[in-house]
């Protein structure tokens, strides 16, 4: 029997995951069969249109009617609706895949991670950090774990966007502390922190992030409300940009930042790592490539990570044919749904989402207090 999937949310992420679900049987024939059973949202007519477009069998306007009845629940709603539906689903024994950041607040993230722990290892609870599923990122992880970069000294991550640099860009839930938790910090910084944990977080490499010093900035304090026909504005109560210094367990230094005001940069996420034996660089805008420099080299070598033995590539096209942003969602959906079918653990889990949230929370606390914060 196909797994019945219920999905809350039909915006950007709803589209990305529905597309991935549709691609799975074509390109990942071993993935469990699924039915896109129910699409959940508040506004019935927009919801019905979206269900039609995205290939769902039915709609529901209350998640409470769905989360205990389906085999899998996807929570792709805004951050402030991550906690309650996810916890209720897990309490009913339904596996959950939740978009990042795991929650708007540390308290919510803790409650969600507790619910996941109580549901048990055979009920996967995944946090949708899609950038772990870039073949070049997984290739980088293999190099790091094989010790090719040696002892890790420096880690750098920047996530730059510019969609708010226009002061007339409309207000949205992403600008509100109650609804989103934070701004660039949670929305973009969560990805960077998760990738750094994934790549160098093991004990043999840099280990955990131990201390942080953060700075948050809001450049535009209020924004127009779209569609009212008036000049109504709403306050912006989150950061437009953040930067932070990190210290890892092994003494490595991290520098990370994100902005929604980086003029000309649309979705520019870069990671750089320097070890005693070499360095590497990754840029999301060139996601099929990894730049690697080994000790003694006089420059970076660009490796095209599109060989048939590179992660996931054999599912797509012949070697050398590049893949794109949407493919990452197919990879993570395959891994998550296989975990659901097997009743096995999935990573990144809610525990990973919570670990990232602790770092984000410490960065915000550091900005508030004007001092370094040590993580527990």
| Residues making contact with ligand SOE (CB under 6 A) | 12, 161, 187, 267
Distance of CA 91 to the CA centre of its chain: 24
274 has which bridge partners? 154, 279
Residue 370 buriedness (CB in 10 A; 0-12 / 13-18 / 19+): exposed
**Closest distance to ligand SOE from the beta carbon of 105 (Å):** 17
Q: How far apart are CA 296 and CA 277, in angstroms?
A: 9
Question: Residue 349 CB, nearest distance to ligand SOE (Å)?
Answer: 18
Q: Considering the complex, what minimum distance in angstroms separates the CB of residue 16 from ligand SOE?
A: 9
**Cβ proximity to ligand SOE, 73 vs 133, nearer residue:** 133
Pick 287 or 339: Cβ nearer ligand SOE: 287
Residue nearest to ligand SOE (CB): 187
Beta-strand pair 72-75/96-98: parallel
**Identity of the residue, 101 or 275, whose beta carbon is nearer to ligand SOE in the bound complex:** 101
The DSSP code sequence of 147-196 is: TTT-SEEEEEEEEE--TT-STTSPP-GGG-HHHHSSSHIIIIIHHHHHHH
- Closest distance of CB 131 from ligand SOE, Å: 7
Residue closer to ligand SOE, measured from CB, 76 or 140: 76
Residue 130: CB minimum distance to ligand SOE, A = 7
CB 258 within 8 A of CB 238: no
Residue 77: CB minimum distance to ligand SOE, A = 13
Instruction: Tell me whether residue 79 or residue 94 sits nearer to ligand SOE (CB atom).
Output: 79
- Dihedral, 206, 212, 215, 216 alpha carbons, nearest 10: 80
Letter string b/e over residues 70-104, b meaning 16 or more CB atoms within 10 A of that residue's CB: bbbbbbbbbbbbbbbbbbbbbeeebbbbbbbbbbb
Pick from 114, 265, 249, 240: nearest CA to 189: 240
Nearer to ligand SOE by C-beta: 42 or 266?
A: 266
């Amino acid at each position: 029997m196909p797994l019945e999937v219920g999905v809350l949310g039909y915006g950007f992420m709803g589209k990305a995951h529905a597309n991935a679900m549709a691609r799975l049987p074509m390109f990942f024939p071993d993935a469990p069969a699924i039915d896109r059973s129910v699409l959940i949202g508040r506004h019935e007519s927009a919801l019905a249109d979206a269900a039609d477009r995205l290939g769902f069998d039915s709609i529901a306007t209350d998640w409470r009617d769905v989360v205990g009845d389906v085999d899998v629940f996807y929570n792709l709603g805004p951050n402030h609706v991550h906690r309650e539906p996810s916890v209720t689903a897990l309490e009913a024994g339904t596996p959950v895949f939740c978009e990042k950041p795991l929650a708007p607040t540390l308290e919510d993230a803790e409650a969600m991670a507790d619910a996941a722990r109580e549901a048990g290892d055979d009920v996967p609870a995944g946090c949708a950090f899609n950038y772990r599923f870039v073949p070049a990122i997984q290739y980088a992880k293999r190099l790091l774990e094989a010790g090719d970069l040696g002892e890790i000294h420096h880690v750098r991550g920047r996530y730059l966007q510019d969609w708010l640099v226009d002061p007339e860009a409309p207000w949205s839930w992403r600008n509100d502390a109650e609804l989103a938790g934070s701004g660039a910090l949670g929305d973009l910084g969560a990805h960077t922190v998760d990738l750094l944990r994934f790549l160098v977080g093991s004990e043999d490499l840099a280990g955990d992030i131990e201390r942080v010093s953060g700075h948050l900035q809001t450049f535009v304090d209020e924004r127009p409300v779209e569609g009212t026909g008036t000049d109504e504005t709403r306050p912006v109560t989150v950061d437009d940009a953040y930067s932070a210094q990190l210290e890892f367990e092994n003494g490595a230094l991290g520098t990370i930042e994100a902005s929604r005001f980086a003029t000309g940069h649309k979705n520019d996420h870069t990671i750089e790592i320097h070890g005693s034996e070499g360095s590497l660089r990754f840029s999301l805008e060139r996601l099929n490539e990894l730049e690697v420099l080994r000790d003694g080299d006089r420059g970076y070598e660009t490796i095209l990570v599109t060989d048939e033995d590179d992660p996931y590539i054999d599912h797509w096209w012949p070697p050398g044919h590049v893949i794109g942003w949407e493919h990452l969602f197919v990879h993570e959906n395959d891994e998550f749904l296989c975990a659901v079918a097997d009743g096995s653990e999935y990573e990144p889990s809610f525990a990973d989402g919570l670990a990232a949230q602790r770092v984000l929370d410490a960065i915000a606390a550091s900005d508030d207090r004007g001092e370094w914060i040590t993580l527990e």
